Amino acid sequence: FAVLCSLYERFLYMISCFRPRLKRCIRVHPVLDWLPSLSAEEKERVRVAALQRGEVEGAEELLRAVERGPRGPGWFTEFLLALKKGGCDLAACYVNPSQLPSPREEDDHDLCVHLVQLLHGTLVDNMVCLFVYFPQIETVTDSRGNRDGARELLSRIVQKKDWFSQFLVALRETQHESLADDLSGNTGGNHLILGGAWLHLSQTHLRSFLCESRIG
């Protein structure tokens, strides 16, 4: 019993430490599908929060529900599995001390996410080619069109662990080498489109530019 209490306390501690990151990494609807121990009332509360106030607030409501219970044996394992099965493996790393990302890995992830944000418009215009890799996006594209499907795809990709290199490979395999080069900084002069203006960045200045212009 003491061991179970210690494990659960550590689990709650990890949530409290990394709450802001968890809220950005969790997609509540697919995770809820894998939480049979969570009551129907709790699930509905989470879904309503996500629908009315956005995904981040839905994730906050989910974390509150997780903290409230059911707290039985296996609850931590169930939530961890739900994160992985729901496509939120990066979030799963933040509640599992043995897989916690290093500060360098966190920094690299944040820089890559911000780079995608800077090139978001260009990426959305060119993401249709990647839909074949993600058949689950078809529901969005069928109901709301390709551009919304592209936005949905981008939001899902950045929640994966080690997503950036795989994303570059997918772009290159679909003959979007120039876009992959822009994202990887492999363009000689390293051109980034920002606000309609071309910024010419050397390879050594790319990281410092992203750090200075990062959205908090």
pLDDT at 68: 87
**46-55, 144-153, 203-212: which range is least confident on average?**
203-212
Instruction: Give yes or no: residues 135 and 67 share one domain.
Output: no
Tokens encoding 136: 């689950």
Please indicate whether residue 80 or residue 179 has the higher confidence score (pLDDT): 80
Instruction: Give yes or no: residues 25 and 83 share one domain.
Output: yes
Instruction: Give yes or no: residues 65 and 156 share one domain.
Output: no
Rounded to the nearest integer, the mean pLDDT of the chain is: 75
Q: Pick from 30, 64, 99: which residue ends a domain?
A: 99
Instruction: Give yes or no: residues 168 and 122 share one domain.
Output: yes
User: How much is the average pLDDT of 193-200?
Assistant: 33
Q: Is the confidence at residue 11, as pLDDT, over 90?
A: no
Instruction: Give yes or no: residues 58 and 127 share one domain.
Output: no
Tokens encoding 65: 């529900």
Q: Pick from 99, 123, 150: which residue ends a domain?
A: 99
Q: Is the confidence at residue 192, as pLDDT, over 50?
A: no
pLDDT at 151: 74
Residue 4 phi/psi, 5-degree rounding, is -65, -40
CA 194 vs. chain centroid, Å, equals: 23
Please indicate whether residue 178 or residue 101 has the higher confidence score (pLDDT): 101
Closest CA to 55 of 85, 75, 30, 84: 30
Into how many domains does the chain fold?
Answer: 2
pLDDT at 196: 32
For the chain, the straight-line distance linking the first and the last C-alpha, in angstroms and rounded, comes to 41
Q: Pick from 80, 99, 118: which residue ends a domain?
A: 99
pLDDT digits (tens, 9 = 90+) for 18-64: 999 999 889 899 999 999 999 999 999 999 999 999 989 999 999 99
Asked whether the beta carbons of 32 and 43 are under 8 A apart, the reply is yes
Asked whether the beta carbons of 160 and 83 are under 8 A apart, the reply is no
Instruction: Give yes or no: residues 147 and 192 share one domain.
Output: yes
The CATH number linked to 47 is: 1.10.533.10
Tell me how far apart the alpha carbons of residues 44 and 48 are, in angstroms, rounded to a whole number. 6
- Looking up tokens 């019993």, which residue turns up? 1
Q: Is the confidence at residue 115, as pLDDT, over 50?
A: yes
| Backbone region of residue 10 per phi and psi (left: phi > 0; alpha: psi in -120 to 50; beta: other values) | alpha
Provide the residue range defining the domain that includes 180: 103-213
Instruction: Give yes or no: residues 47 and 126 share one domain.
Output: no
Instruction: Give yes or no: residues 161 and 111 share one domain.
Output: yes
